[in-house]
Structure formats: structure tokens, C-alpha cells
Amino acid sequence: MSSFRRYLLVLCLLAIATSVYIPLKWGLPYPKAPGPKLGASLVAQYKNELNKSGADLALIGDSVLFHGVIPDQMAALTGRKIYKFGVPGTASAAWYLMLKNVIAAAAHKPRYLVVTFRDTILTVPDYRVNGKYLNLVSRFATSKEPLFIQRSFIQQMSPVEQLADQYLPIYGSRLLARDKLNYFIRYSLPAVFGCNAKCTDKANIIVFRDNNLGQNSLTNAAASAEAYLYTPDRLDFSRQLDQSFLPEMVRIARENKIQLILVRTKHLNAASEKSESAALKNYIQALKTYAAQNNVIVLDFAYDKRLTRKLYYDNYHTTMAGAVVFTKILSEALLPIINK
């Protein structure tokens, strides 16, 4: 046991040393508030864009929306000004912040807000918020976002993690520390050959472009990430609802007289409605019931036969031809709502 005692002693010394060094070096409070430090915000810029657009109908969503809806075509089909806020890599936390800080806070508020989603993503508050996603979500955040921090981070931590996050700076600042370590590891050798960090990042983007990656590889990677949305807990709507941002989104939309329209998009992981699991069926039914009770409209395109396999370039994203078809279908479904 003497070896363990020695190990414990050195470990304690290191923990103390890092607990002094990290707050001093990176200017962090001790103990720090639980949850991460947010990155740079672009809320003001987005609000300006929305005001300038004068849009009557806004759409928010992730890469599925980014690739799947053509604003000009939709404007022509609906006769309304459109503002598309499709940001690849976002999920419900970012969409909540977009609604709260940009759409509801802009001088010009759209009358209709379409949120595109797939399956359970609306009620999984910690999906796509960690690692590099944090900087992306931070773009839509203000300096203080207690609900976002609570639901996306603190709520997901065990009591031990919460304590470590506050009182053990090496744990609480691990993302920053890892970034710095990675910076050294990834950029040092290319720098020796005259390629700095910016040049290495550019090389990364060029080499790993989607069209350089095999279809299987992309599909597997996406499916493995999305598996998080289909665990038994995540498929339990009543359990997830109060932990999610959905009730807040409904409230903000209602208070700002914005008609919220949830649009369930199609993906190709499940071949047909018949093969949809009972748990997912129950989830979607519960979501629709909740939406109906709260004056929220749900449009479900998950098994729309007009969106054929050929219109997709992977299991989630439409081709250009697919975008034309989906924009038309969505516009046709929206027309009766906005012409009421």
C-alpha cells in the first residue's frame, strides 16, 4: 500500500498546484460557477440581419434545414418574406437561444416560426452542446444564460461531477486545458515546416471535406452520434419534457405572438412508418398531443413518400433536387396556416 500512498500524495500535490495555477493563469474565479464558460456571442449581428430581412416567416434548424429549404423558392410559393436560420451542428439548446435572443428580441418579429426537427431532438437539451459545439451555441447566447447552463449542463451532471466542476479547476477547465494541449500536439510539427495553426486548420477542412469522405463513413458517423437520441430515457416524452427547452420555446413564442410550427423532417434510417419503434411512435404521439394543447402546429413529413431515397445524398440531407421538392411540400403545407 506504500506505493498507493505515494501516488495519492503526489496526486494531491498536483491537484493543489493546478488548483492554484489554473485560476491565476486563466483568470478564473475559485470556486467557479458550475457549467462551462460561454464563447463569443453574435446575437447583435443576427438581430440586425433579421430586422433587415423584414421576414414574416422564420425557420430555424440544423444542417437538414440548411440543405433542405430554399428561401427564395419558399418566398415565391408563399408570398411571404423568409428568414432561414439553418445552422449545421445545432440542436434544441441553440434553437432555444435563437428564439429567445434573436427572434423574440429583434425589433421586427416574424409572425410564424418554423422549427425543423427529427424525432426526439427537441427534448434532448444536452445534445450538441459539448466540445466544439459549445462555441457554436455560444453565438446565440448572451453573457448570462442560467436556463441553458442548468438544462444542458448542470442537470446532466452527478453531484460528484458538480463538485469537481466547481472546486477542482483541472476538471472544471478541462475543455480549455485539452484545447491547449491539442493545440500544442496538432500544430507543433506542421509549424516546424512553416504551416501555422491557421494553415493547419485550413488543411484539415480541405482534406476532410465531405466529398472526400466515403458515404458509409459519413452515414456511420452520423448514426453513431444520433444514437444518443434514441435511448429509452430520451424516448420518454413525459420524462424529458420538463428537462428540455421545449416548454420555454412554447412560452416565448406565445408571449411574443409568434405562431410556432414544428416540422418533423424525414431521415432514411427507418425505412417506413411500419418499422418505427413503438417507443418512438408513443413519443411522437405525446409530442403532438402536447403541441395541440399549447396551440403549436406540428407538420410531420417523417414518412412522406414524395421524399424518395434518390432525393437524399446521405440519410439526413437532401440533394439540390431534394431541397426543391421539400421546399415545395413544406410551402404547400404552410400556406393554409399563414393564409388563415
Partner 1 sequence: MSFTSLTFVGFLLIVLALYWLARRQAWQNIILLAASYIFYGWLNPWYGVLLGLSSAADFFIALGIARYRNRSRALLTLSLLLNLGVLAFFKYYDFFNVGLVAQLAKVGVHADVFLVSILLPAGLSFYTLRKLAYILDVSRGAFQPVENFVDFSLYVSFFPQIVAGPIERIQKLLPQIQLPRTWKPEFFSAAWPLLVMGVFKKVVVADTISAVVDRIFGMQSPSKALVLAAVLGFTLQILADFSGYTDMARGIALLFGFETSENFNKPYLALTPSDFWNRWHITLSNFLRDYIFFPLRRALLKKRTLPAWLVQAIPPLVTMFVSGLWHGAGWTYLLWGIYYGVLIVIYQSSGIQVNWQQSNKLKVLIAWLVMFSLIVFGWFLFRAPSIAWAGQVLFQAAWLTKPQDAIIALMMLAMAAVYSFPLILKMLLDRFSKPGSWWLAAYFAVITIVTIVYINSSNPDFIYFQF
Report the distance separating Cα 234 and Cα 267, nearest Å.
18
Count of CB atoms within 10 A of residue 201's CB? 13
Q: Which stretch binds partner 1 (CB under 8 A): 46-54, 165-173, 254-262, 289-297?
A: 165-173
Residue 25 in the binding site for partner 1 (CB under 8 A)? no
Q: Select from 271, 292, 320, 321 the one that contacts partner 1 (CB under 8 A).
A: 271
Interaction of residue 224 with partner 1, rule CB under 8 A: yes
Say if residues 306 and 333 touch (Cβ distance below 8 Å).
no
Task: Give the one residue of 102, 126, 246, 323 binding partner 1; rule: CB under 8 A.
Answer: 126
Main-chain dihedrals φ then ψ at residue 171, nearest 5 degrees: -80, -50
First to last CA, the chain: 77
Q: How many alpha carbons lie under 13 Å from residue 52 in its C-beta half-sphere?
A: 6
Residue 187 binding partner 1, by CB under 8 A: yes
Q: Which is nearer to partner 1, 132 or 306 (CB)?
A: 132
Q: CA 26, 27, 31 angle in degrees (round to 5)?
A: 105
Stretch that binds partner 1, among 25-33, 202-210, 319-327, 332-340 (CB under 8 A): 202-210
**Does residue number 278 form part of the binding site for partner 1 (CB under 8 A)?**
no
Q: Is 52 in the site for partner 1 (CB under 8 A)?
A: no
**Min CB(43)–partner 1 separation in Å:** 20
For residue 263, give the amino acid letter.
Answer: V
Q: Is cis: bond before 31, omega within 30 of 0?
A: yes
Q: Which residues, in sequence order, are CB contacts of 255 under 8 Å at separation 6+?
A: 104
Of positions 132, 239, 281, 306, contacts partner 1 by CB under 8 A: 132
CB half-sphere exposure, 227, CA atoms < 13 A: 6
Does 199 bind partner 1 (CB under 8 A)? Our answer is: yes
Of the candidates 42, 53, 77, 161, which one interacts with partner 1 according to CB under 8 A? 161
Check binding of 275 to partner 1 (CB under 8 A): yes
Near partner 1 by CB under 8 A, which window of 48-56, 112-120, 194-202, 331-339?
194-202
Cα gap 244→115, rounded to integer Å: 15
CA 47 to chain centroid: 19
Q: Are 264 and 308 in contact (CB under 8 A)?
A: no
Total site size for partner 1, rule CB under 8 A = 69
270 near partner 1, rule: CB under 8 A: yes
Give contact residues for partner 1 (rule: CB under 8 A): 1-4, 6-7, 9-11, 13-15, 18, 63, 88-89, 126-127, 129-133, 136, 153, 156-158, 160-161, 168, 170-171, 174, 177-178, 181, 185-190, 193, 195, 199-200, 202-204, 206-208, 210, 212-214, 216-218, 221-222, 224-225, 228, 269-271, 275
